[in-house]
Amino acid sequence: MAKHIVVIGAGVVGLSAAVALQEAGYDVTIVARDFPGPAETFDGLQHINFSSPWAGAHNRWVPPLPSGEGLREHRFALTTFARMRALASAATESTAHGITFMKGIEYVDTGAAVLADVYGLLTEARAQSAELAMPGFRLLGADDFPDARVAWGCEYDTWCVNPMVYCAFLLRRFVFRGGRVARRELRAVAEVFALAAADAVVGRGGGGVVDAVVNASGVGFGGPEDGVFPTRGQTCLVANACDATVTRQHADGSWTFCVPRGFEGGTIVGGTKEPDSWDPLPSLAVRERLLGSMAATYPRILEGAAGGDFTVIRDVVGRRPTRKAGLRLEGELLPGAVAGGGDGFVMHAYGLGGRGYELSWGVAEGVVTGVREYLEARASSTA
Ligand SMILES: Cc1cc2nc3c(=O)[nH]c(=O)nc-3n(C[C@H](O)[C@H](O)[C@H](O)COP(=O)(O)OP(=O)(O)OC[C@H]3O[C@@H](n4cnc5c(N)ncnc54)[C@H](O)[C@@H]3O)c2cc1C
Ligand SMILES: *[C@@H]1O[C@H](CO)[C@@H](O)[C@H](O)[C@H]1NC(C)=O
Ligand SMILES: *[C@@H]1O[C@H](CO)[C@@H](O)[C@H](O)[C@H]1NC(C)=O
């Protein structure tokens, strides 16, 4: 019989892991408090701890340092890029998958800290090398810059998703292929083992056996003891279309970016990155600053717009589930978690911060590997 894996979380990380586990032959149940739905109906205050609806979401290539720092994440981003391309090209015209391919443009202002290492050290040859393999990468020249404050720029091929269209697509695919879902709010990861014994849905109606749990709970159970904290982001959703996803880093550390969502989702104009800020309310002054800066950075976004201006749909505030030590992708045994006293295995997959979509399929592969290695070791120790 196929082993039964319970994934906690139905954000982009939990959903991707669930689909990947299913493809690897496991029986999978997703348990979560929040599930994807039409973003238009989501109350910003009520759903604020659910990150996935509030992302842009685009893929920005973040080149790893020559020292190798950041290389694992870059590989995860390459894996995700390949998977997004395969999903979009295998889809029939009627599949609303929410993925759009387009150019990504980066501008970095004089004085921005990233110029000292990441961007300053990036040549075309290195970007196009087999190791980095950044598709369509090209350095831009001063003629391509919007103003004289920009010191460095590049463009590349990338993808954007309309987050809730994409996540709902993953959820439909998962259920269509036999996956089960249960909407439950948990107080702790270990609760899943006890719940499964009592709950016909989570326990798959049988003996309530859970062979492994995946902790993709975002900022859900996060506490200071684990170094989990939110990085607040305020953006503005506008109806204006845009032909590229553009990101600019300013000398003072602030950001301007736009992410066309496609699928009649408008364009996200952002955005702030505020570690440890729990403020759920958007600021009108910030909205004005973001829109003004975007218009100056990429005037094409207003070409053909009614009245030559932005049409605001809503302000957005989200919490990026960040972890001080970075992404946690590893297994852990919870002593005595299984009814009867056995240890329960949990594969952690959280702390992706602002890169949950970008790294999703790489992390999902890591989850499958971790679960498989644990189950193989368990089988050989009891054989
Ligand atoms: C403004 C903004 C812009 C962003 N832009 C981008 C971008 O362009 N590209 C990109 O890659 N990323 C972007 N991100 C980051 C991205 O949104 C996150 O990294 C990603 O959504 C994290 O997904 P997740 O599945 O880990 O967490 P979440 O989406 O938060 O999902 C967590 C899941 O766990 C469940 N859960 C939590 N606690 C419990 C509990 N106690 N009981 C039961 N279930 C529970 C929740 O209900 C939910 O289903 C952005 C984020 C913000 C805020
Ligand atoms: C979001 O999480 C925080 C910290 O756990 C909690 O205090 C707050 O009540 C949650 N907000 C909502 C709307 O659930
Ligand atoms: C599960 O994920 C949360 C982040 O949401 C983390 O704080 C926690 O330590 C993880 N593990 C357990 C056993 O709860």
Helix, strand, coil fractions of the chain, as percent rounded to 5: 35, 25, 40
Determine, yes or no, domain membership for 62.
no
Q: Which of these ranges, 28-37, 60-69, 89-98, 329-338, has the smallest mean pLDDT?
A: 89-98
Rounded to the nearest angstrom, the distance between the alpha carbon of 277 and the centre of ligand 1 is: 16
Rounded to the nearest angstrom, the distance between the alpha carbon of 31 and the centre of ligand 1 is: 15
Tens digit of each residue's pLDDT (9 = 90 or more) over 14-24: 999 999 999 99
The atom number, within ligand 1, closest to the CA of 350 reads 26
Average pLDDT over residues 188-199: 88
Q: Rounded to whole angstroms, how far apart are CA atoms 219 and 256? A: 25
Average pLDDT over residues 65-92: 93
**Domain closes at, from 300, 322, 344:** 322
Q: Rounded to whole angstroms, how far apart are CA atoms 151 and 141? A: 9
Does 328 lie in the same domain as 318?
no
Which residue, judged by its Cα, is nearest atom 12 of ligand 3? Answer: 189
**Domain closes at, from 274, 300, 322:** 322
Does 331 lie in the same domain as 206?
yes
Check whether 140 has a pLDDT greater than 90: yes
Tens digit of each residue's pLDDT (9 = 90 or more) over 36-56: 999 999 999 999 999 999 999
What is the Cα gyration radius of the chain? 21
Does 139 lie in the same domain as 112?
yes
Which residue, judged by its Cα, is nearest atom 4 of ligand 3? Answer: 222
Average pLDDT over residues 124-130: 96
- The residues, any chain, with a CB within 8 Å of residue 377's CB and separated by 6 or more, are none
Range of the domain at 138: 79-160+229-322
pTM higher than 0.85:
yes
Ranges of beta strands (E only) in 110-225 are 138-139, 150-161, 180-183, 212-215
- With a pLDDT cut of 90, the percent of the chain lying above it is 85
Rounded to the nearest angstrom, the distance between the alpha carbon of 257 and the centre of ligand 3 is: 31
The CATH number given to whatever domain includes residue 133 is 3.30.9.10
Average pLDDT over residues 58-78: 95
Kindly list the distances between the CA atom of residue 116 and the CA atoms of 63, 113, 119, 151, in Å, as whole numbers in the listed order.
Answer: 13, 6, 7, 12
Does 191 lie in the same domain as 126?
no
Q: Which of these ranges, 60-69, 182-191, 213-222, has the smallest mean pLDDT?
A: 213-222
